[in-house]
Amino acid sequence: MKLLCASDLHLGRRAPGIPEHLGLDSARFATAHVWDHIVEIAIAERVDAVLIPGDIIDRENRTFEALGPLEQGVQTLDQHGIPAYGIAGEQDFDILRRAADSGSLRNLSLLGLVGDWERVTVERDGQPLLTVIGVSSIGQTARANPLAGVDDVLKAHEPQPVVALLHGSVTGTDHRDVSPRFSPVPAGELSKRPVALWIAGHEHRPFFDADSRLLQPGAVCPIWTHDTGQHGVFLVELGDEPESEPRARFIPTSPVRYATLSIDLAGARDEEHVDQAVIGAVRDALTAAIKDDPQGNLRCLCCHLAVTGRTPLHSEIPALIKDLTRTLDVHERGVIAAVTDTTIETTPDIDLAPLLRRPDPVGEAARLIAALDEPDPDTRSPSQRELIQRTTTRLQAVHRARVFTVVAGDDEPDETEAVRLLRRQGWDLVDALIKQRGVE
pLDDT one-digit tens code per residue, 358-406: 999 999 999 999 999 998 989 999 999 999 999 999 999 988 886 665 5
130 and 22 within one domain:
yes
pLDDT digit string (tens) for 260-309? 999 999 999 999 999 999 999 999 999 999 999 999 999 999 999 999 99
- Identify the domain boundary among 349, 364, 397: 349
366 and 344 within one domain:
no
How far apart CA 357 and CA 366 sit, in angstroms, is: 9
Which CATH number is 172's domain given? 3.60.21.10
pLDDT range class, residue 243, cuts 50, 70, 90:
confident
Which pLDDT value is given to residue 21?
86
HSE, side-chain direction, 13 A CA sphere, residue 95: 23
Greatest mean pLDDT among 206-215, 255-264, 377-386: 255-264
323 and 279 within one domain:
yes
pLDDT range class, residue 244, cuts 50, 70, 90:
confident
392 and 327 within one domain:
no
How far apart CA 72 and CA 50 sit, in angstroms, is: 14
- Identify the domain boundary among 252, 267, 299: 252
18 to each of 130, 150, 281, 305, how far by Cα in Å? 41, 42, 18, 15
* 219 pLDDT above the threshold of 70: yes
Which pLDDT value is given to residue 63?
64
- Identify the domain boundary among 229, 252, 275: 252
329 to each of 99, 225, 316, 366, how far by Cα in Å? 43, 18, 22, 39
Q: In what order do the strands lie in the sheet with 84-87?
A: 108-110, 84-87, 49-53, 2-5, 232-237, 247-252
Task: Give the range of the structural domain holding residue 263, as residue numbers without chain letter.
Answer: 255-349
404 and 334 within one domain:
no
298 and 238 within one domain:
no
Task: Note the pTM of the prediction, 2 decimals.
Answer: 0.88
227 and 112 within one domain:
yes
259 and 391 within one domain:
no
406 and 264 within one domain:
no
User: Which one-letter DSSP state was computed for residue 345?
Assistant: E
Do you know the residue count of the chain? 440
144 and 25 within one domain:
yes
Which residues are registered as beta bridge partners of 338?
302
User: Structurally, how many domains does the chain consist of?
Assistant: 3
32 and 162 within one domain:
yes
76 and 8 within one domain:
yes
Which pLDDT value is given to residue 26?
83
